[in-house]
Amino acid sequence: MKKIVSLALALCMVLALVVIANKPAAAAEETVLKLWCIATESDANRPAYLQAIADYEAANPGIKIELEAFENESYKTKIKAAMMGGDTEDLPDIFFSWSAMLSTTTYEGKHFGVPTTFNIVALYANMDLLAEVGYDHVPETYEELTACCDALLAKGIIPFGCAGKETWCVTEYLEPIIIKTIGYEALNKIFAGEATWNDPDIAGAVTTFQEMINKGYFDPAGAALGNDETKANFLAGKTAFYQNGSWNTGEVANASFKSGVGLFPVMNADRSSYYQTIGGPSDVLAVCATSKNVDAAAKAAVELGKEICHYNYLNAVGMPAWIPYYDTSSLSPLMVDIAGLVGKCEGLVLFGDTAMAADPAQTYLSYVALVYGGEIDGPGFVAGLTNDLG
């Protein structure tokens, strides 16, 4: 556990986009801080937000947090329109953001963000289906994984489901293969723009992914489906594996079958290792540079971030990016397994589309879509991205 914490804290330092404006504190009697987020009524994060706000208001009399929640997709357009409009009145004091968005919304270099959850890409498995083909654990080597998939296919069970309609779901499959081929340091440099995509091993990783698709490991129907539907297929026992963010743990743990979790196996042991994975504190609470109460907002963001993190962990929707405050013995076994995986992590790379700026991220995603659609091969992927993103 200590390792998670130290790792997470280190990441926060690196990623958490510091710089606070040094303004004198406003001496208001009652300070109202507006908080925008996507924790809508049916969102798994909602309880954590409510509990954290209640705690914070109780501990800090005189400060009121006004929560407004928006639907995920519409929130993206909304926050961008608000930023472009540059209207200080409508903008909140604190807002939920993805790391990627933050980099594009930096205003005069002033930004302050606090991570609220910590997630990795996990390979969930339906252990009941795996047992049918003689496996009692999640395959740990690529040979084992392909053998398992072949056996599943022979029994008429589709190994994977991947939502082609939402390209980020495809990256949840492709990026782990890439990191297990070229290692986290190399991939980090590429995402950060410090190195180009021109690496023949990436082409190899893409080819591996396409081989898996061609062998029929992926449900062909996935091309037309969204994430909700693909996940529903896995939870209904239609596919044996589901690789996606660890925020799904609560739902998978509640499935009617015995579930297991692991990481994608190593492809190239020279450059990578099993405990390297995609993940990180992708969700942050950011302080708006134009807020009239920047100091109060920053303080609140830090506390709320920690608390939301903690409650999310207890509710099994996210790994802590901070030291959990209280007793955590009520966790589900699957959550403990994931925590164990995270604890052993040797290298992390943030989800590609959140690590890159908006325009390159979209270009990257469209190339990933081309790969999934079989329109380009590995070398084509590398050549295209090297050409377009430099």
Partner 1 sequence: MQRMYSKKVYILIFLLPALILFCGVLIAPIGASAYYSLFNWNGLGAKVFIGLKNYKELFTSNAIGFMKALRNSLLLAGLSVFLQLPLALGLALTLGKRVKGERLFLSVYFMPVLISTVVIGQLWLKIYNPDYGILNVFLRSIGLENWTRIWLGTKKTALGAVFVPTLWQYVGYHMLLLYAGVKSVPPELREAAMLDGATDGQVNRYIVLPYIKPIIRISVIFAVTGSLKSFDLIYVLTNGGPLHSTEVPSTLMINMLFLRNRYGMGSAIAVLLIVLCFGFALLISAIFREEK
Partner 2 sequence: MRNNSKAARVVIYIGLVLWMLVNLFPVYWMFTFSLKSNPEIFGENVIGLPKEWLWSNYSSALKTGNMARYFLNSTIVAVATILITLGVALMATFALTRLIWKRRKTLNKFFMLGLTIPIHASIVPVYVTLSRLHMLNTYWALIIPYSAFSLSMAILVCTGFMNEIPRDLDESACIDGCSVWGIFFKIICPMMKPAVATVGIYTFLQCWNELMFANIFISKSALRTLPVGVQALSGQYTTEWGPIGAALVLATFPTLFIYIFLSKKIQESFIAGAIKG
Smallest gap from Cβ 251 to partner 2, in A, equals 7
Q: Which of 173, 134, 126 is nearest to 151 (CA)?
A: 134
Distance CA 285, CA 304 (A): 8
Q: What is the distance of C-alpha 352 from the center of its chain?
A: 9
Pattern 61-90, partner 2, x by CB under 8 A: -------xxxxx-x--xx--xx-xxxx-xx
Helices 358-372 + 167-182 axis angle, to 10: 90
Q: Are strands 31-37 and 63-69 parallel, antiparallel or unpaired?
A: parallel
> Which residue in 69, 323, 369, 383 binds partner 1 (CB under 8 A)?
369
Distance CA 305, CA 55 (A): 12
Segment lying near partner 2 (by CB under 8 A), choices 141-149, 245-253, 259-267, 330-338: 245-253
Distance CA 65, CA 217 (A): 48
Q: Establish if 105 lies at the interface with partner 1 (CB under 8 A).
A: yes
Contacted entry of partner 2, partner 1, none for residue 72, CB cut-off 5 to 8 Å set by kind: partner 2
Distance CA 118, CA 278 (A): 11
What sign for the dihedral angle of Cα 38, 40, 46, 52? positive
| Residue 299: half-sphere exposure toward Cβ, Cα within 13 Å | 14
Contacted entry of partner 1, partner 2, none for residue 36, CB cut-off 5 to 8 Å set by kind: partner 2
Q: Establish if 116 lies at the interface with partner 2 (CB under 8 A).
A: no
Pattern 82-101, partner 1, x by CB under 8 A: -xx-x---------------
Sites of contact with partner 1 (CB under 8 A): 76-77, 80-81, 83-84, 86, 104-105, 107, 164-165, 167, 220-225, 229, 233, 238, 357-359, 362-363, 366, 369-370, 373, 375, 388
Binding site for partner 2 (CB under 8 A): 36, 38-46, 68-72, 74, 77-78, 81-82, 84-87, 89-90, 92, 228-229, 232-233, 236, 247-248, 250-251, 317
